[in-house]
Amino acid sequence: MQSTKQCLAASILDTIGDTPLVALDRLSRGLNGRVLAKIEFFNPGFSIKDRIALQIIEDAERGGLLKPGGRVVELTSGNTGTGLALVCAVKGYRFIAVMSEGNSRERARMMRALGAEVVLVPQVGGSRPGQVSGEDLAEVDRVTSQLAKKLKAFRADQFNNLSNARAHELTTGQEIWEQTGGKVDAFVSTLGTGGTFAGVTAALKKRNPRIKCYAVEPAGAAYLAKGKVTDPNHKIQGTGYAMPLPLVKREWVDGLVTVTDREAIRTARLLAKKEGIFAGFSSGANVAVALRLARRAKHGAVIVTTINDSGLKYLSTDLFPER
């Protein structure tokens, strides 16, 4: 993924990565620490997942797992699917996205616009728009496995594929280090597949082992933090599936932190109103925890997090009221 600031991009894929790092000085005013946010909706698919989509597909090509005219299948909450849809559109692969009906409908429409076929899977126990549980994901996984086998397609397998974490180690983490001049005290990331946390943490800790890295889970689905799930039907889409995450090295987790739906929603709204950053639920969760850390941090500490996707993907939800 090369910088495109001074050159003509050969395709939209060359614009993935090199996203800006922005100081949230209005929200963190008066706090001990300073919060910086990597604005990942600057990627062409409007999310951080474009990075892993490109890495997974290109690694599969290099490894001979994906050949011209091939088919790609993957489960998604919408963002990885959108990234894979645009990568496959440019590279000429057929892409089938498998997604729970609980995810916001904007995501399915965007993937279809990019040429993907979208298979929507009914939720376990009945419809709960905007709330996807681990049980829902397990059902989506079952359907995805069947499709991949039937079509003899390459499955991206984002929860287990090392290319997921590798994308963030090679790009996101390296960019954060360079953009801060190595002056990072802490990193905060919600856990979906765990790829962002794993990759960025690897990049940062290899450069400075003293950097503290905090993983964020929804309060009702704190599987890693508490070992139990009290409310799997949270609203923070793309996170908190209450399942093992093979990509995450527990020894690199300096703290497991929980966040409520209310905190995530309130902070996402404040991001829009105070910082002009229009983002989704998980971004609100990230920033809520980063601000919490900044309150008790040493003076001048730098806490970095990611704005995972655009608020445009949530207009059908209650994240941003119509009035």
Longest dimension (CA), the chain: 57
Task: Report the alpha-carbon angle 239-243-247, nearest 5.
Answer: 80
Residue 206 CA to residue 318 CA, distance in Å, equals 40
Gap between the terminal Cα atoms of the chain: 41
3-state helix, strand, coil in the chain (%, to 5): 45, 15, 40
Environment class of 195 (CB within 10 Å of its CB; exposed 0-12, middle 13-18, buried 19+):
buried
Buried/exposed code over 10-33 (b: 16+ C-beta within 10 A; e: otherwise): eeebbbbbbbeebebeebbeebeb
Q: Is 28 a catalytic residue?
A: no
Question: What secondary structure does DSSP assign to 262-280, as a single string?
Answer: HHHHHHHHHHHHHH---B-
Query: Tokens 């908190």, residue?
Result: 240
Q: Is 49 a catalytic residue?
A: yes
Do 246 and 159 meet the contact criterion of CB atoms below 8 Å apart?
A: yes
DSSP helix/strand/coil, 78: coil
Single out the catalytic residue among 104, 163, 189, 282.
Answer: 282
Residue 26 has φ and ψ, to the nearest 5°, of -75, -45
Single out the catalytic residue among 38, 47, 49, 189.
Answer: 49
Do 233 and 218 meet the contact criterion of CB atoms below 8 Å apart?
A: no
Joined tokens for residue 45: 């698919």
Residue 119 CA to residue 19 CA, distance in Å, equals 31
Residues identified as active-site: 49, 282
